[in-house]
Every structure is written in structure tokens, then in C-alpha cells.
A = this chain, B = another copy of it.
Amino acid sequence: MINDHPEIADIVDAASRLSGHAIRTPLLECAAASELTGGRILVKPEMLQVTGSFKFRGAFNFISRLSEEERRRGIVAFSSGNHAQAVAAVSRHFAAAATIVMPRDAPAIKVEATRSFGAEIVLYDRKEESREDIARELMESSGATLVPPFDHALTIAGQGTVGLEIAEDLALAGATPDQVLVPCSGGGLIAGIATAIKARFPDCRIFAVEPEGYDDTGRSLAAGSRQSVDIAAESICDALLVPTPGELTFSINSDLLAGGIAVPDETTYRAMAFAFRHLKLVAEPGGAIALGAVLDSSVDCRDRTTVVVMSGGNVDASIMREALSASV
């Protein structure tokens, strides 16, 4: 296992493993956002990925490299939902038994989808119990392998295939990106994307977009060291509530990112409604947040080419109804 910073070759290798299993999501022009900002806005819609989020890529890259014997002993993961579904789906693909530790307040759609892939679910209290401890106990009793949600080179290389596809599609279109905005929680997605994009477009600026109150990566980048936020904060972005950047992801991100942007929940709701109306895409809150940073002008897009990564679409209908009522 590599555990140093993954390189572009590791991402290219992950892409060849994923080929035929993951969906190669398109890069979509967003005419409405382009008009609004006076720039060119392109969207990478990872809600169209298998299991409804980019997480399938990292989980597949990791699990595909386990031995038969390791898979036989089972798979464990902890996740608020998107990683859970991805690990459950990939485990089923490889005929491995999966146990997923999920917070009791995870969206129903995510818990049900994870169960539908045949995984066993263990629920815990996000504010009182340690999911790491629960997962460790499971591993010790069965010999199962933990699939890291973000802080592992193979996970990061898998997520990096999002960036590789963006870079390939931009090159085909003869376009050069000025900036790429990526939703950020533990930092695996953006670390992988930044590695891929910077390899092909060294001058492109990559920004981490986080919910207000959970802007640990932004604060850490500003401070130059890993900072934690208070997990008592509330945010609609259930997928982005990790309070501290990963060790490996922060090491990569502090090398490659241009900074962090914090977005309030109202803006995220507005971005969900905008995606519904203009892109015909269902975005979960955490999936829409980078689009929010464009809509509320947190990032200057005028006369620039901006790529917005939309990371997932696993949202309960009740939350979407709220977003549509509030904003359309």
C-alpha cells in the first residue's frame, strides 16, 4: 500500500480499475450560472455516479486491491451515508460482507440505500459515541478490513479520478480552468482532484468549499496547521460534518490548495434550487455547496473558467421540498 502523497500515475491507475464499474460523469456547461457571473461555469455532476456520490470511486479503488482472503474476512466502514452506500455497493460487487457504522441522525435515504446493498448497519450517536472505537471493535472481533473514508492514498487516488476526468474533458474542449471549487469534509475528494488538476494545469487555483461552522480545512489552511471546529455547530450539510482535516489529506491540501470558502446554509439551499431549476440535477446540501460559493459571489468568476464539483445527490425528498419552497 502506498501511503505517501498519491501522484497522477496512481490516479491514472485508479481510473483504469474503475473503468466499466464507475460512471464517467460528463462535464456540463451551466449557461445560467455563466450568464449570472459573467464567466464560464462548468459543473461536474457526481450525483450521477453509482450510489449517488463520488465516494464509489475511492471505495472501489481501495477494496479492489484487497486479497480474496481479506475480502472473505469482511469489510467495515464508518460514514454519515455516502461512503456507507459506496462501501456497501462495492462490497456486494466483490461478494464481501460489509458492516457499516452510521450516525443515528443520518438521512433516511442514505441508511435505507446502504441496507439495500445488503450491508449490516450499526447506528451510533454522533455527539456521544466514537465511531472509530465502534469500528475498531468490529475489526478486532472479525479480522475485517476498514475502508478509510478519506485519509488514505488509495481512497484519495480513487476520488482523484474525478479531477482526471475534468482535466481530460477540458483538454478535449481546448479550455484552461482558472479555478476549481470542491466541497470539502475530510478532504479526500479535493486532495485527489487537486493532485490531478495541478498535474495538468499547474496554474489552476483549487478552493475547498465548506459549511459555515465546519470550515476546518479553510481555517487549517489559513493557520498552516490542522485545526478543529466545534461539533456542536449545526449545518444542513450532513455529508460535510467532519471536524478536523485528515493528516494525509491536509498534508496534500496545504501544498496544493489556494484557500477555503465558508458558505451559509441559506446559500446552500439556494444552490440546490438553482441546480434543480437550471441543471436538472438533484443535489444534496453538501453536493450543492460549491455552486453556492459561485451564486453568492464568494468567488470571483467574471471572465474566468470555473469548474464546480457537485459531489452527491442523496437527499431526502423532505429536504428538497424545503429547498424548493424557500428559493423557487
Contact = CB atoms under 8 A, between A and B. Distances in A.
Interface string A183-224: 000000000000000000000000000000000000000000
B317 A328 contact: yes
A280 interface: yes
A124 interface: no
A52 interface: yes
Interface string A119-143: 0000000000000000000000000
14 contacts: A23-B28, A26-B26, A28-B48, A31-B50, A45-B48, A45-B280, A47-B280, A48-B280, A277-B317, A280-B282, A282-B282, A317-B324, A317-B328, A321-B325
Interface string A4-15: 000000000000
A23 to B, nearest CB: 6
Copies in the complex: 2
Size category of the binding interface on chain A? 20 to 34
Contact of A273 (B276, B279, B314, B317): B317
Given A26-B48, A280-B283, A317-B325, 16 more contacts: A23-B29, A25-B26, A31-B50, A45-B280, A47-B280, A48-B280, A48-B281, A276-B282, A280-B281, A280-B314, A281-B281, A317-B324, A317-B328, A320-B324, A321-B321, A321-B324
Interface in A282-297: 282-283
Nearest to A21: B29
Contacts of A279: 48
Contacts of A273: 317
Contacts of A324: 317, 320-321
A109 interface: yes
Interface in A25-70: 25-26, 28-29, 31, 45, 47-48, 50, 52
A72 interface: no
